[in-house]
Structure 1
Amino acid sequence: MPTVLNRYATPFITGLFLISLISGVALFFHWGSSWFRGMHEWLSLVLIVPFVLHIWKNWRAMMNYFKRAPMFLALAVSLVAALAFAIPAAMQPSGAVRGGPPQFAIAQAMFDAPLGTVAPVFGLTEQEALAKLGATTIGQSLTQIAEAQGSSAASLAQELMKPAE
């Protein structure tokens, strides 16, 4: 059985890496994101199995890399590159929009704006919106109202979209 696993580790790494490469490029350029997101996330996780088998199969050769500077240099540069993305993201205040599709940023801006500013988008006055949400404080945002009610701004926005009964 181990020889079968060893025989297929490198071919599976190649196939899964190509899928990860193509889907990652597509996601980066926002091409068919709905097609590629799940594929990229799940099959990149599956890639771990043949990667581990490949390292196991080539353990001695791998250890030889650690006897020379290029491996340490490559690992250090990779770590610095990862930290260049991770640190700014970690420094963002909680709830801040970190890029992504513009519609998410627009939705977040609406959730954070005073209800009187966004109520007309739903065809309501601020008083009508407050009544629909069961809120009383004028000038609050959907985010603030949701926090006070133990809800989410998105679910409150859905409430505002429901037709009057």
Structure 2
Amino acid sequence: MSTSGISGGARVPPAPGQENSFGRFISRFATPLTAGLFLISAISGTALFFHWTPGTFHEMHEWLSLVLLAAFAFHLYKNWVPLLGYVRRGTLILPLAVCLIAAMPFVIPGVGGHNRGNPAFRLVPLLTHARLSDLAPVLKTTPDELIAALKKRGLTVRAPNETIEAVAIDSDKEVPEVLFSVIPGR
């Protein structure tokens, strides 16, 4: 087995898998990829937080954050032995616990006074489960006009007491598609 690298004047054996091209790729690019993708995630996440052109940053943030997970896995693989040192010394437990505690208000309903999710997304089920006769005034129309608009779009509507969800199911359409088709301005 060959040795590579010098650490503190002593020659150290290659990291696991370093003998093959995958191992060389990991050794050479895991940390730079992690750093670059983290930078992109940090910039796009900050832009999303401050609502700076969310259309520009949303997909980039989602997709490249997933790629960041792969780079992070490579980085962990490359640095597995030092990571185990953190575990053995117990210095990994406190930072991980702090991170977990910091995440709690965002995932547990009611903790920290935060409501979960985007209010617009929370309205969709309310609108799709409302009777057409109740939904019509919200959409600034009458029940008869709403039913006529739905039928004009080729949807099956039986009565004013039906819901958008029922109309979508009867018409073999997606529920959001039917709801968005009756929202004024579309």
Tell me if both proteins adopt one fold, taking TM over 0.5 as the criterion: yes
Q: How does 1:29-44 map to 2 (within 5 A)?
A: 29-44=50-65
Give the 3 Å change call, closer, same or farther, for CA 35–73 of structure 1 in structure 2. Answer: same
Query: Hey, what does 1:127 align to over in structure 2?
Result: 144
Shift of 1:114: 3.3
Query: 2:72 matched to which residue of 1?
Result: 51
Higher RCO structure (Cα 8 Å, ≥6 apart): 1
Query: 2:46 is matched with which residue: 21, 25, 32?
Result: 25
Query: Which of the residues 64, 80, 85 maps onto 2:106?
Result: 85
Task: Describe the superposition over 1:109-147 as per-residue Cα deviations: whole angstroms up to 9, x where unpaired.
Answer: 543443224435767531243352432333343234435
CA RMSD of aligned residues (A): 3.3
Give how far 1:40 is off.
Answer: 1.0
TM-score (ref. length: structure 2): 0.63
Tell me the CA shift for residue 16 of structure 1: 0.6
**What residue in structure 1 maps to residue 179 of structure 2?**
157
Shift in Å, 1:42:
1.4
Task: Call closer, same or farther: CA 1:22–1:128 in 2, change over 3 Å.
Answer: same
| Pair member with larger Rg | 2
Q: Which runs of 5+ in 2 are unaligned?
A: 1-20
- The structure whose residues are more often helix, as a share, is 1
- Moved >6 Å (runs of 4+): none
Distance in structure 2 (CA, Å) of the matches to 1:152 and 1:139: 19
After TM superposition, the structure 1 stretch with the greater mean CA deviation from structure 2, 135-144 or 113-122, is: 113-122
Q: Structure 1 pair 29/105, CA: closer, same or farther in 2 (3 Å)?
A: farther
Q: Deviations over 1:65-108 (max 9, x none)?
A: 0022331122233334445433439xxxxxxx9532x6545655
- Cα displacement (A) at 1:44: 1.2
Distance 1:118 1:38 in 2: 32
The partner residue of 1:74 within 95, 100, 123 is 95
Deviation, structure 1 residue 10: 1.4
Structure 1: state its 5+ residue gaps.
90-96
Q: Is this contact kept in 1: 2:106–2:116, CA < 8 A? A: no
Per the normalisation by structure 1, the TM-score is 0.70
- Report the identity percentage: 40
- Kindly report which structure 2 residues correspond to 1:101-112, keeping only aligned pairs within 5 A, or say none: 103-104=120-121, 109-112=126-129
Q: In structure 2, what is the equivalent of residue 116 of structure 1? A: 133
Once residues 35 and 89 of structure 2 are traced to their aligned partners in structure 1, the CA distance between those partners, rounded to angstroms, is 26
